[in-house]
Amino acid sequence: MKLDRGGWSNFRAIAAYAVAVGSVAAALAGSRWLDIHAVTAPVSLLLCAVMFCAWFGGFGPGLLAIILSVLAFKYYYAAPVHSLAADVKEIPRIFVFALSALFAGLLSAAQRSAAQSFRRARDDLAGSVQELERSNTALLTENAERIRAEEALRNAQADLTRVARLTTMGELAASIAHEVNQPLMAVVTNADTCLRWLAKDPPDLHEAREAAERTIGAGHRASDIIRTIRALARKSTAEFTRFAINSAVSDVLALTSGELQRNDVLLETELSAGLEPVSGDRGQIQQVILNLTVNAIEAMTADSHSPRVLRVSSRMAEQENVLVAVADTGTGLDPTTADGIFDAFFTTKPDGIGMGLAICRSIVEAHGGRLWASPNSPHGSIFQFTVPVAGSDALNDPTR
Amino acid sequence: MTRPDNDDEATVAVIDDDPGIREALRGLLRSVGLHAEVFASVQEFLGAARPDLPGCLILDVRLPGRSGLDLQEELARANAQRPIIFISGHADVPMSVRAMKAGAVEFLTKPVRDQDLLDAIQLAIAKDRARRDEERTLARRGADFETLTPRERTVMMSIVGGRLNKQIAAELGLSEATVKVHRGNVMRKMRVRSLAELVRIADKLVPAHNRA
């Protein structure tokens, strides 16, 4: 029995009590009719009314039906009949009837409440299932969203790699222009000289030939430089080949020689002979070397006093790796931020975007190598990376 | 006293870190009969023994170690300047202004037109020759000035200062006749015929002597 707030619940409660009164009355009428016309005292109809009321209306209407039934039983079936006064002999019979009615009513009410809680549980379950379905749909949408975002991130990273390379190239543009212009100047001057020897009377063919040969040599040198630049600026997808790390290092250093001279940096190289060829994308590895070299030059030009020495070395390292080290005598790493230098968007340069070292590390790791930094003695820093030699197990899946 | 310069004896010093360019320039200069000395760096140039001949310098602005512009300033400070022709990979305006202000003959960009370079070289050598002639004349006049007695020098400075014999005699406590004798000696020893000529020589000589 619940007194709920809603009008519908109130109505239902009142209806349940009315049904209790009605069904007891109906059972009584049925009993009386049978009593008069056929058999004697079929009181079980009253018990049926109690059970029905308790089942239909719950404990409250059931109790009402029990009370009414007991009163009706006393009035019509226990002596003295047609009176509510009780004969002492009849009390056990009345008591037994009352107990049976109470037992039947309570049992019905309990069954009703069990059925109700079962229904509630079933409704709850249905609600939970619906909820689950909703969150599942949301999860699926979210997942698709995440896959799209990851795709976008990958694209952005590829773009950034290209931008970072172009930025590095841009920083070097003046130096590269100088490198290309030098042989061009020699080409033009030698060709002019050749014409001058030919224009003499008589023409000096020996001198003219020498000038023409110098022209050819300078032309080849210009094309060598352009080939190196093209290898660096190439497309961004990795293309794995076997190559000698020392030649990759030398090409990059040739490109930066103008930059080194302009900034008064002394270059020391110690490239071990007899290194095994490595497997990887030559352009990407060169980009790493270029980035580290440009960083080293910048670190040294920030401080105008110390001697500026850039030391680039290569050697075999353990576990079939080739190690390349770029050491400078610059400002060195700040120990408080040293851990973050390889993170994306970490920069100490006023106009840096902080992608250089992050991209270097991702390139080296995609090759199955490692890139790390340590302090140089007495000052400056050393950046070292490893690349597995061709055919070793450490090599990653080349399709990456 | 040095002998007068001869056209064949001009030398052109080339300082460029690129061996290809050094050889190309040496070849070009040889084709027009000029002798070139090539150096890879400013240090190498300063360390080399240079013959005392008229000539000029062809410098790359961007050189290892000390830059061409720094060398230009250093030579100017040491009062040992030679006309300089700058060659640069990229002509940026502030750089060329700085070079021209410091007395460069020409500022050319690579690749250089041979005729532009040869014209600049001729101009530079002519300039150097004129400067050397001037220096030699000045040295000769300086030697003449050294032959004057202290009293004659005092009289000479007074004359070029625009004073009359009478005023000089009064200032120095001499007779006008004695001043006239000193004046005659000054004109003879300084090998000049007119007062105007003496004034011109004194103008050049005095600051030069003060510097020395």
Which of A189, A221, A264 is closest, CB to CB, to B114? Answer: A189
pLDDT of A311 reads 94
- Asked whether the beta carbons of B59 and B71 are under 8 A apart, the reply is yes
Considering only the beta carbons, identify the residue of A178, A221, A258 that sits closest to B20: A221
Q: What is the pTM of this model?
A: 0.52
* Model pLDDT for residues A137-169, shown as the tens digit of each residue: 999 999 999 999 888 877 777 776 667 666 666
Is the confidence at residue A38, as pLDDT, over 80? no
Given this model, what pLDDT does residue A73 score?
A: 82
Least confident of B17-21, B30-34, B69-73: B69-73
> In chain B, what residues touch A188 (CB-CB under 8 Å)?
111-112, 114
| A186 vs B: CB within 8 A | yes
Please report residues of B whose CB lies closer than 8 A to that of A186: 18, 20-21, 23-24
Q: What percent of chain B has pLDDT over 90?
A: 23
**Cβ–Cβ under 8 Å, residues A312 and A269:** yes
pLDDT at A262: 76
> Residue A267: beta bridge partners?
A310
Q: Convert the pLDDT of each residue in B105-147 to its tens digit.
A: 888 888 889 999 999 999 999 999 988 888 888 888 888 888 8
Mutate which: B18, B116, B117, vs A, most A CBs within 10 A = B18
3-state secondary structure of A84: coil
Flag whether residue A214 sits within 8 Å of chain B, measured between CB atoms.
yes
Strands B11-15 vs A381-388: parallel, antiparallel or unpaired: unpaired
List pLDDT tens digits, range B28-49: 999 999 989 998 877 788 778 6
- Number of other residues whose CB lies within 10 A of the CB of residue A31: 22
ipTM rounded to 2 decimals:
0.71
Angle formed at CA A77 by CA A75 and CA A79, multiple of 5 degrees: 80
Which residue of B14, B15, B21, B118 to mutate against A (max A Cβ within 10 Å)?
B21
Decide if B27 and A189 are in contact by the 8 Å CB cutoff: yes
Burial, A230: exposed, middle or buried (Cβ in 10 Å; 0-12, 13-18, 19+)? exposed
Q: Say what the pLDDT of residue A397 is.
A: 45
Chain B positions touching chain A (beta carbons under 8 Å): 17-18, 20-21, 23-25, 27-28, 30-32, 62-65, 87, 89-90, 110-114
Is the CB of B89 less than 8 angstroms away from the CB of A178?
A: yes
> For chain B, give me the number of helices (H) and strands (E)?
9, 5
Q: Who wins on pLDDT, A144 or A227? A: A144
What tokens appear for A194 in the block? 């050749």
**Segment of A29-43, A226-240, B112-126 carrying the highest mean pLDDT:** B112-126
Residue A190 contacts B, CB cutoff 8 Å:
yes
Q: Are strands B106-109 and A266-271 parallel, antiparallel or unpaired?
A: unpaired
> Average pLDDT, whole number, for chain A?
82
Per-residue buried b or exposed e for A107-125, using 16+ beta carbons within 10 Å of the residue's own CB: ebbeebeeeeeeeeeeeee
Is the model more confident about B2 or about B83?
B83
Q: What integer pLDDT is reported at residue B212 of this predicted model?
A: 36
Which residue shows structure tokens 């032309």?
Answer: A219
Residue A100: predicted pLDDT: 87
What's the whole-number mean pLDDT along residues B180-199?
A: 90
